[in-house]
Amino acid sequence: METKRNIAIVCGGDSSEHDVSLRSGQGLYSFFDKERYNIYLVDVKGTDWHVDLQDGNIAQIDKNDFSFMLDGKHVYFDYAYITIHGQPGENGTMQGYFDLINMPYSTSGVLVEAMTFDKYVLNNYLRGFGINVADSILLRRGEAYDEEEIEKRLGMPVFVKPAADGSSFGVSKVKNADQLAPALRVAFMEADEVMIEGFLDGTEISQGVYKTREKSVVLPATEVVTENEFFDYNAKYNGQVKEITPARLAPETAEEVAKTTSRIYDILHANGIIRIDYIISKDKDGKDKVNMLEINTTPGMTATSFIPQQVRAAGLDIKDVLSEIVENQF
């Protein structure tokens, strides 16, 4: 019998979504094939990196080689499944560490993670490949801005959001120019750079995709219906939302969204499962227009999160999907 690979589910992180990430870690722990792999949960917060052992004890991670001691023996990992929402797992920092110690991991590489984490950079990069994105303006802390200019360029309403933050914190929908200043204050509490983005009216769609050497799997899209002004923290985590999988789209629109999802994955040369959020708006002729909103490279992985829902809707078993993703790198 060959020895089982040791897999670290790396969760936690330093953002306001630390606890949400722990829930994703628990979800992944329950999904992984335990007969095939030894699975350990690694909680990362600041410089405290430790393994949460099943008996309730913890073991410190040695950052020199990402190993830990168990019953007097070193345990070395073969693979890191990163499910940190926000930094350092979604912005390239953790990926750089794993590159340095030569450890394969589940996400894209340093550049793509850094780029997808910064919504403004990502939008402008993908726009160059012909992907539709909302127009936006970047403001740095302390920079002067002209409310009238912003309104003239982007129209109203606009979204004000931290440019580089994986979460729904600090986001406001602004309906007139005099609400800009308070919205910017809130966003600057979360980040040093804030993005003001033109409002796209339409249906919000979220679609997962992963590729291996053998296959390309675009999962069924989910439609997000919320009574809230937008898909905010309450809608996301406190259930104030209806999620419909597969999304109610015209067949040709569904096909275009799937093609766009697959193409973006290839443009970025992504790795593992990513989730792309879209707004389907109408053009002036009333035809559906597919606009990319943002990319999530460490999507939520609790049983009720989008990706597990979409995997079930596709008739796949999440256990097999995770094994395929891991084995693709060996």
Helix 119-127 and helix 110-117, axial crossing angle in degrees, nearest 10 = 100
Among candidate residues 114, 111, 125, 124, the one with its CA nearest the CA of residue 269 = 111
297-313 pLDDT per residue, tens: 999 999 889 999 999 99
pLDDT at position 211 = 97
Peptide bond into 182 cis (omega under 30): no
pLDDT at site 13: 92
Report pLDDT for 218: 98
- Indicate yes or no: pTM above 0.85: yes
Instruction: State the CB neighbour count (10 A cutoff) for residue 309.
Output: 19
Contacts of 321 (CB under 8 A, 6+ apart): 210, 217, 273, 311
The confidence score (pLDDT) of residue 1 equals: 58
pLDDT band at residue 17 using 50, 70 and 90 as cut-offs: confident
For 224-278, write each residue's pLDDT tens digit: 987 655 555 455 555 567 899 999 999 999 999 999 999 999 999 999 999 999 9
pLDDT, position 140: 93
pLDDT of residue 230: 56
pLDDT for the residue numbered 165: 62
What is the model's pLDDT at position 236?
52
Percent of the chain beyond pLDDT 70?
94
For the segment 86-92, the average pLDDT, to the nearest whole number, is 92
Structure tokens at 58: 């913890």
Pairwise CA distance, residues 186 & 171, whole Å: 8
Residue 178 DSSP label: G
Q: Which helix (H) or strand (E) holds 5?
A: strand 5-12
Do the Cβ atoms of 291 and 278 come closer than 8 Å?
A: yes
* Per-residue pLDDT at 86: 86
Share of the chain above pLDDT 90, in %: 78
How far apart, in Å, are the Cα atoms of 95 and each of 8, 22, 102?
Answer: 14, 19, 10
DSSP state of 48: E
Q: Write down the mean pLDDT value for the chain.
A: 91
Report whether pLDDT(167) > 70.
no
pLDDT confidence of residue 189: 87
- What pLDDT does residue 238 have? 53
Local confidence band at 10 (pLDDT 50, 70, 90 cut-offs): very high
CA distance 278 to 258: 11
